[in-house]
């Protein structure tokens, strides 16, 4: 009965000639413990510095962003040269208007993942606020909670402006649910501050460099500045905690991190390319709304993959897994010799070079143009 009620909450959204089926609302219990901390001595210097940076850099989207900017939702919001799809021989054969419709809808699908992911981040940040056993970290996590609320607000407003919102991709929901349903705040921080936010920071950076919409560019710029602090928090707070914990607990966290990374890798590798997934109902609706037969599309994707076309990211783009997530996990000691074998078995190359990650954590996204 409960499942049926939840199922009924998923609704079909129709806006003009297109429609999508939204993810049903969901409810579950968290096994997390809540921690009071009466040691108000706010001593951990790097976390205190992040907290000050967070207070200084709060912003109000009503004041800061030009919401009256005209956005034509039928126009692609990203430049052709930045799109992997434009390199597919199949895609080049489509009519110009079909290409533009597909680009508009697939960009809306990506922006919708930003929006849904931000709601997940809002809940994980609140969860860290109540479960982390350190007073300074609680204050910092409260700033992150406000940041994430602002991010939900700006992406919801932008998706409303382009009048297109797509359902949450099943693998992203699975990843964030695994994080929210975990039993330790360390796992919530690994799942969110290292993995989901590494993924997001890479995607935001790529959006920042490829969008042709000035409003979306500004939104992304300010969101990235906030996200840079969130990724840094995963390192400066959790790094020492992991270093000092018993080995068995560290191994448990290392397994959790591997399983979370593997959700992303399996979704990306085995079901298509990135968000272009055969088993993602939202992506299939993107194709339906663009008048593209899914069989033709996925045959075209396979042809492009066989030709080696989809291997390289467009110039200047960041690879979230290689440049952000894996270096973040390696840096705090979560790629242990034992779990390294699991990555090898799953065919996930380990990368430990932290340079792109460190540049991102500095909080100045415009500097990354040169990366
Ligand atoms: Fe966020
Ligand atoms: Fe965040």
What DSSP string describes 284-345? HHHHHHTT--HHHHHHHHHHHHHTTTTSSPPTT---IIIIIIHHHHHHTT-S-HHHHHHHHH
Distance 94 CA to ligand 1 centre (A): 35
Structure tokens at 281: 């109902």
Q: By three-state DSSP, how is residue 12 classified? A: strand
User: Quick one: which ligand is closest to 119's CA?
Assistant: 1
Give domain limits for the chain: 64-370
> What's the gap in Å between 121 CA and the centre of ligand 2?
6
**Tokens standing for 117?**
């992911």
Cα separations (Å) of 306 from 233, 288, 348? 40, 25, 20
- Rounded alpha-carbon distances, angstroms, from residue 187 to 95, 120, 138, 254, 328: 47, 14, 16, 9, 14
Under DSSP, the state recorded for 368 is G
Among all bound ligands, the one having the nearest atom to the CA of 144 is: 2
The rounded Å distance from CA 172 to ligand 1 centre is 14
Tens digit of pLDDT for each residue in 63-89? 999 999 988 877 778 877 777 788 888
Distance 301 CA to ligand 1 centre (A): 31
Q: How far is the CA of 66 from the centre of ligand 2 (A)?
A: 22
User: CATH top-level class for 64-370?
Assistant: mainly alpha
What is the distance in A from the centroid of ligand 2 to the CA of 309?
Answer: 32
Residue 15: the pLDDT is: 67
- pTM surpassing 0.85? yes
How far is the centre of ligand 1, averaged over its atoms, from the C-alpha of 364 (Å)?
16
Residues with CB under 5 A from ligand 1 (ion): 118, 121, 148, 151
Longest dimension (CA), the chain: 65
**pLDDT at 316 (0 to 100):** 65
Question: pLDDT 10s digit of each residue in the chain, 371 long?
Answer: 334 334 445 677 776 677 788 888 999 999 999 999 998 876 678 999 999 999 999 999 999 999 999 888 777 788 777 777 888 889 889 998 899 899 889 999 999 999 999 999 999 999 999 999 999 999 999 999 999 999 999 999 999 999 889 999 999 999 999 999 999 999 999 999 999 999 999 899 989 988 999 999 999 999 999 999 999 999 999 999 999 999 999 999 999 999 999 999 888 765 566 678 888 899 999 999 999 999 999 999 888 888 887 666 666 677 889 999 999 999 999 999 999 999 999 999 999 999 989 988 886 654 454 33
Which ligand is the nearest neighbour of the Cα of 115? 1
Ligand nearest to the CA of 227: 2
* Ligand 2: centre distance to CA 146 (Å): 10
Measured between alpha carbons, how far is 150 from 128 in angstroms, rounded to an integer? 18
> Rounded to an integer, what is the distance from CA 365 to the centroid of its chain?
16
């Amino acid at each position: 009965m409960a499942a049926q009620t939840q199922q009924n909450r998923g609704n079909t959204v129709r806006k003009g000639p297109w429609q999508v089926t939204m993810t049903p609302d969901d409810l579950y219990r968290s096994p997390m413990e809540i921690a009071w901390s009466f040691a108000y001595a706010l001593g951990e210097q790097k976390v205190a510095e992040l907290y000050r940076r967070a207070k200084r850099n709060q912003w109000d989207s009503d004041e800061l962003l030009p919401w009256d900017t005209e956005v034509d939702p039928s126009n692609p919001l990203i430049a052709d040269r930045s799109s992997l799809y434009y390199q597919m021989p199949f895609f080049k054969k489509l009519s110009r208007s079909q290409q533009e419709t597909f680009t508009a809808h697939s960009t809306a699908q990506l922006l919708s993942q930003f929006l849904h992911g931000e709601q997940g981040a809002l809940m994980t940040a609140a969860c860290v606020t109540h479960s982390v056993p350190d007073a300074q970290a609680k204050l910092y996590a409260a700033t992150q909670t406000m940041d994430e609320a602002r991010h939900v607000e700006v992406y919801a407003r932008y998706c409303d402006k382009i009048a297109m919102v797509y359902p949450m991709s099943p693998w992203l929901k699975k990843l964030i649910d695994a994080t929210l349903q975990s039993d330790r705040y360390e796992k919530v921080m690994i799942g969110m501050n290292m993995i989901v936010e590494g993924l997001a920071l890479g995607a935001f950076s790529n959006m920042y460099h490829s969008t042709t919409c000035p409003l979306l560019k500004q939104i992304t710029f300010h969101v990235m500045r906030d996200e840079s602090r969130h990724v840094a928090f995963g390192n400066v707070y959790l790094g020492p905690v992991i270093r000092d914990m018993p080995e068995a607990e560290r191994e448990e966290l290392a397994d959790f991190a591997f399983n979370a990374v593997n959700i992303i890798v399996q979704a990306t590798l085995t079901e298509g390319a990135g968000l272009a997934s055969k088993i993602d109902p939202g992506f299939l609706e993107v194709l339906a709304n663009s008048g593209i037969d899914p069989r033709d599309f996925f045959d075209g994707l396979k042809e492009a993959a066989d030709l080696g076309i989809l291997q390289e990211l467009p110039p200047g783009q960041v690879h979230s897994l290689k440049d952000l997530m894996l270096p973040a996990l390696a840096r705090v000691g979560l790629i242990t010799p034992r779990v390294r074998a699991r990555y090898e078995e799953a065919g996930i190359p380990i990368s430990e070079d932290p340079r792109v990650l460190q540049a991102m954590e500095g909080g100045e996204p415009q500097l990354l143009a040169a990366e």
